[in-house]
Structure 1
């Protein structure tokens, strides 16, 4: 009898590839100097995030509480993505969109483990945030300092809680999913740090490449943390 092999759904292969292609086209269109027509960025930047939303939606059915918050975070991130396509007028709306997204992520991670269950990630990310903000503070306009400070606190708490979930779940069935969230939070911190340096103290060479090439993997990791239904039923 011939060996039986499990069929892999075509979408499980094509979706990561489509996301990678869309992200690459967006980065090429939004880079300086642009390698594609700038208008392509207005199409492929939101499309890339929408593909990640789709990925999260397909994985989240077995964990409705976590999925609800992570999908909300991704949708507010989409709002932020679109707003930041307009670097001047869209900066504050984009900041607000991503601020709400981080609050959603924090609430999602808190549905898996209590807030601050592991304390050292809060100390570590707090130190990193303080160092970056300390170097940039003199360049941040006075009318934006309050908003930037609130955003940095939210970003720091999000990444810290993601790591708290992971380290609290070591040798637990949900450890792999928590690890995805932790690396997503870390990549988000790196991406936003590069964005802040470029905006306030830059310019940074190839800033769009650094920012977006870490931002979308961060969001993909968030979606991955939802796991598959079989994984979640064992957790």
Structure 2
């Protein structure tokens, strides 16, 4: 079996274990092992990629490790929320920087505007009313950076139509969808089967962003 396929299978198996444990179908302590293991397997899968694009690879790896830190922090849903937010904030900034090694920032700008409008709509309609006052400023900053990451992936693809850019654009969109469902579930009244959809979209986004590195 090819090494990259093996790492993807390891990531999928650990993701399935985590989602089952997080949903009550498996013992709860398995969450603490399976969640970081899934992200580490995706990091191992992406690690050999990008030799021809060292700057993009450097920043993307930083984003993956920052995502891992955010994963671990969010294993504590209450105490870890702000540290997790910070970890993923760093991840999105690193992903944006990785994309701009091969594209111009916000060129074109319309994907940023579209994602920004969608985020503002969801935030105002479903999240803001239930969001504690102490979290409003950090969440606004985080949403702005998340929108920038998703928007930059779409801008890179629109301007270049490169295959790697397409993976980045799709990964950014899935990350935005995952975090939207997470926020609605936590602050907007709940989402059915939230753990399944939030985490499947999240790990799918990480894999796609990693695939934006050329072989």
TM-score, normalised on structure 2?
A: 0.97
Matched, 1:168 2:159: yes
Q: Which runs of 5+ in 1 are unaligned?
A: 1-8, 229-235
- Report the equivalent of 1:129: 119
How far does residue 62 in structure 1 lie from its aligned partner after superposition? 2.2
Shift of 1:116: 1.1
Q: 2:188 aligns with which of 184, 187, 201?
A: 201
Partner of residue 183, structure 1? 170
- In 2: Cα distance, 1:157 partner to 1:89 partner: 27
Matched, 1:20 2:20: no
Cα drift, residue 118 of structure 1: 1.1
CA contact (8 A) 1:166 1:182 kept: yes
Distance (Å, rounded) in 2 between the aligned partners of 1:66 and 1:36:
38
Provide TM-score, normalisation by structure 1. Answer: 0.89
Alignment of 1:1-235 (within 5 A): 10-31=2-23, 34-135=24-125, 136-170=127-161, 175-228=162-215
Matched pairs, number: 214
RMSD (Å) for aligned C-alpha atoms: 1.0
CA distance in 2, matches of 1:61, 1:146: 39
Contact 1:56–1:67 (Cα < 8 Å) also in 2: no
Which structure 1 residue ranges, 4+ long, deviate > 2 Å from structure 2? none
Q: Which of structures 1 and 2 has the bigger CA Rg?
A: 1
Structure 2 unaligned blocks of 5 or more: none
